Structure 1
């Protein structure tokens, strides 16, 4: 029997509870899906005991001294109150424990603003990381030695794993489980957690669909949702205007003012966003083009390269090579 992978999630007063419960739920679901436990999760704090989250809910934690830093295989810093995180950097005992754990762990990282503590302790110098979009500018300005990716949902740079805001911790931990147990296991866990979709790390923090729905006036919010569900159908101005019972001229003007993009540009944005996800499947380029409404692989390639600067084929190959080259740490394969 292989020893379980020891995971330590650091919490503190002001922590975001979903940054703790989301990842913990992923690893618990992995244990439920396997014949024997794969992960042993410890929720740690500096002193142990009850920790008050930002949601006014208490989390029962163990004192960090109860888990030797060298015993940790995966260390994660949960996000939360930024000032509270930066104050932790001045705790010498905690800083020493985190430095030792991150040095010996096969992987370490953060969820949401937890990356600020890693940066403040100098643990991610020269690394590419991400954090919640609202903290990206502050982090980049405060820690110029760290490369901050303000767009990605999560980033893997060597043994450093960081995720953006809140729910992206689930996406990142599913990717970790996939690395450990395989794609089929990760998909079963996502199904068990009733996730709408598994999101890859390269996907933007800023969903074009959600952004448009937040910005759009009431008459167009339902239309935007309909467009996202019917990408394989014609989404031209005459059809959309007819659906909204407007003249084409009035529809074009009002949609552009409301959404911030022309109907054609927005339809292409939705299609390309979905195409990036489908390119990570086994579907052919022709099949992807058909599913998202481009009609042909050539049209998809032209639009994809114009928008992202690479061909769909190169994007697919690059993503697969990155995943293949990131082999599992030795401690996980003994």
Structure 2
């Protein structure tokens, strides 16, 4: 059933929502493996393409950069060419049979690609952002990023996607027989790709083996926190980073009000839309 705006506002008003209460659980001590990871140097790669969603890249990068003051890591920005890569997407077809829509009016920023797909260093962690540029790449039958993923997948320790970046994972084949989620506003377009994927309609992020996928845009920061908590533990550096940047991440992977907002097939319309986030460690 599709919720009208009035129905949705009424739902917010009458639904019994959970009460947020202070946490009584202390941050757990790091495991032996997490302590060992703190002394390892992890090589991180973030893929860029014209039309990437800025926060898909900058949000996780902010956390990576801040945490690198505590634990050793390196980062590479990888694209088809080195140099500045704009966040403005190329012209895209929004309606079948219609000419491409111009994007010249969209404001843009550029990030500097440090490596190409052929010169990228050995990577432990690879992150694929979303953005309208993904749609343009599909329409251009450009599978360069998919080929890069399949060539590196066996040697990666972890593969992450934010937002519609999961369409690249789906098209590359690495999501077969795995669960994943994605941007809820583009759910129907994205989930048509790939075979044998267990798409999760209500999820802030998912983890299946070494693959992590997040919902739309800002959800990438929550996934990044959960991923780094798994890698290093929250106590110490990561808690200091999150409170230092004054960001309280959602820590419940099943919290997903936007699956209700966008009427995603299979989502629970009675799911909680209240946010109970609080600073880490409090």
Quickly name the TM-score band, shorter chain normalised. Answer: 0.5 to 0.7
- Select 1:131's aligned residue among 171, 174, 182: 182
Partner of 2:256: 204
Q: Quick one: higher RCO (CA 8 Å, sep 6+), 1 or 2?
A: 2
Q: 1:200 to 1:38 in 2, by over 3 A?
A: farther
- Select 1:77's aligned residue among 125, 128, 133: 128
SS of residue paired to 1:191: helix
Contact 2:147 2:172 in 1 (8 A): no
1:42 maps to 2:94: no
Q: Once the 2 structures are TM-superposed, how far is the Cα of residue 139 of structure 1 from its aligned partner?
A: 2.4
SS of residue paired to 1:66: coil
Report the Cα distance in structure 1 between the residues aligned to 2:51 and 2:81, rounded to whole angstroms.
Answer: 15
Q: Once the 2 structures are TM-superposed, how far is the Cα of residue 144 of structure 1 from its aligned partner?
A: 4.5
Partner of 1:66: 119
Report the Cα distance in structure 2 between the residues aligned to 1:145 and 1:14, rounded to whole angstroms.
Answer: 28
If the length of structure 1 is used for normalisation, what is the TM-score? 0.58
Q: Once the 2 structures are TM-superposed, how far is the Cα of residue 140 of structure 1 from its aligned partner?
A: 2.4
Partner of 1:306: none
Q: Once the 2 structures are TM-superposed, how far is the Cα of residue 3 of structure 1 from its aligned partner?
A: 4.4
SS of residue paired to 1:142: coil
For each residue in 1:198-257, what CA deviation from the matched residue of structure 2 results, as whole angstroms up to 9, or x when unmatched? 43222114398xx6xxxxxxxxxxxxxxxxxxxxxxxxxxxxxxxxxxxxxxxxxxxxxx
Report the Cα distance in structure 2 between the residues aligned to 1:124 and 1:159, rounded to whole angstroms.
Answer: 11
Partner of 2:108: 56
Report the Cα distance in structure 1 between the residues aligned to 2:42 and 2:140, rounded to whole angstroms.
Answer: 26
Q: Once the 2 structures are TM-superposed, how far is the Cα of residue 135 of structure 1 from its aligned partner?
A: 1.9
Q: 1:186 to 1:167 in 2, by over 3 A?
A: same
1:150 maps to 2:212: no
Contact 1:79 1:114 in 2 (8 A): yes
Q: 1:38 to 1:89 in 2, by over 3 A?
A: farther
Report the Cα distance in structure 2 between the residues aligned to 1:41 and 1:97, rounded to whole angstroms.
Answer: 17
Aligned positions, number: 216
Gaps of 5+ in 2: 1-37, 89-106, 262-268
Q: Once the 2 structures are TM-superposed, how far is the Cα of residue 47 of structure 1 from its aligned partner?
A: 1.5
Q: 1:136 to 1:29 in 2, by over 3 A?
A: same
SS of residue paired to 2:75: strand
Two-structure CA RMSD over aligned residues (Å): 3.0
SS of residue paired to 2:203: coil
Contact 1:164 1:205 in 2 (8 A): no
Gaps of 5+ in 1: 212-260, 284-334
If the length of structure 2 is used for normalisation, what is the TM-score? 0.68
1:115 maps to 2:152: no
Q: 1:2 to 1:150 in 2, by over 3 A?
A: same
Partner of 2:29: none
1:25 maps to 2:87: no
Partner of 1:182: 233
Report the Cα distance in structure 1 between the residues aligned to 2:186 and 2:180, rounded to whole angstroms.
Answer: 12
1:90 maps to 2:142: yes
Contact 1:95 1:121 in 2 (8 A): yes
Contact 2:163 2:215 in 1 (8 A): yes
Structure with greater helix percent = 1
Report the Cα distance in structure 1 between the residues aligned to 2:248 and 2:40, rounded to whole angstroms.
Answer: 32
Structure 1 residue ranges (4+ consecutive) displaced by more than 4 angstroms after TM superposition: 268-271
Report the Cα distance in structure 1 between the residues aligned to 2:255 and 2:110, rounded to whole angstroms.
Answer: 32
Q: Once the 2 structures are TM-superposed, how far is the Cα of residue 91 of structure 1 from its aligned partner?
A: 3.9
For each residue in 1:247-296, what CA deviation from the matched residue of structure 2 results, as whole angstroms up to 9, or x when unmatched? xxxxxxxxxxxxxx9xxx9xx9578x74xx79xx999xxxxxxxxxxxxx
Q: Once the 2 structures are TM-superposed, how far is the Cα of residue 143 of structure 1 from its aligned partner?
A: 3.1
Contact 1:85 1:116 in 2 (8 A): no
